[in-house]
Amino acid sequence: MIAQSADTAGIDWSAVRADFPLLTREVHGKPLVYLDSANTGQKPAKVIDTVDDFFRHHNANVSRAVHALGTEATEAYEASRTKLAGFLGAHRDELVLCSGTTFAINLVAYSWALPRLKVGDAILLSRMEHHANIVPWQLVAERTGATIRVAEIREDGTLDLDALYAAMTPDVKILGLTHVSNVLGTVNPVRAICREARRRGIVTVIDGSQAAPHRTLDIPSLGCDFYAITGHKMCGPTGTGALWARREHIAAMPPFLGGGEMIKEVRFEGTTFNDGPHRFEAGTPNIAGHIGLGAAVDYLSTIGMPAIEAREAELLAHASEELQRIEGLRILGNAPEKAAVISFLVDGAHAHDLATLLDLEGVAVRSGHHCAHPLMRFYGVAATCRASFAFYNTHEEIERFAAALVKVRRLLG
Q: Which tens digit of pLDDT belongs to each residue from 119-158?
A: 999 999 999 999 999 999 999 999 999 999 999 999 999 9
pLDDT number for residue 27: 97
pLDDT number for residue 151: 97
Give the integer Cα–Cα distance in Å for 114 and 121. 12
What stretches in the chain show pLDDT beneath 70?
Answer: 1-9, 413
Domain boundary among 271, 301, 331: 301
Say yes or no: 260 and 401 in one domain. Answer: no
Q: Is residue 8 part of a domain?
A: no
How large is the angle between the packed helices 305-324 and 395-411, nearest 10 degrees? 30
pLDDT number for residue 66: 86
Active site residues: 371
Give the integer Cα–Cα distance in Å for 136 and 149. 14
pLDDT number for residue 1: 46
Say yes or no: 296 and 312 in one domain. Answer: no
Say yes or no: 310 and 281 in one domain. Answer: no
In this prediction the pTM is 0.96
In total, how many domains does the chain have? 2
Range of the domain at 320: 13-43+304-411
Provide the CA 88 distance to its chain's centre, in angstroms: 13
- Torsion sign, CA atoms 20, 292, 187, 5: negative
Residue of 411, 409, 345, 340 lying closest to 383 (CA atoms) = 345
pLDDT number for residue 274: 82
Q: Are 380 and 139 in contact (CB under 8 A)?
A: no
Domain boundary among 301, 325, 351: 301
CB atoms under 10 Å from CB of 38, counted, come to 27
User: Cis omega before residue 277 (within 30°)?
Assistant: yes
Give the integer Cα–Cα distance in Å for 282 and 260. 5
Question: Residue ranges of the alpha helices (H) in 119-228?
Answer: 135-144, 161-166, 190-199, 219-222
pLDDT number for residue 133: 98
Angle at 146 between CA 140 and CA 150, to 5 degrees: 95
Say yes or no: 32 and 58 in one domain. Answer: no
Residue of 23, 18, 45 lying closest to 33 (CA atoms) = 23
Write the DSSP assignment of 304-338 as a string of letters: -HHHHHHHHHHHHHHHHHHHHTSTTEEEE---SSB
Say yes or no: 243 and 318 in one domain. Answer: no
The most distant pair of C-alpha atoms in the chain lies apart, rounded to whole Å, by: 72
Q: Is residue 177 part of a domain?
A: yes
pLDDT number for residue 6: 55
Say yes or no: 56 and 184 in one domain. Answer: yes
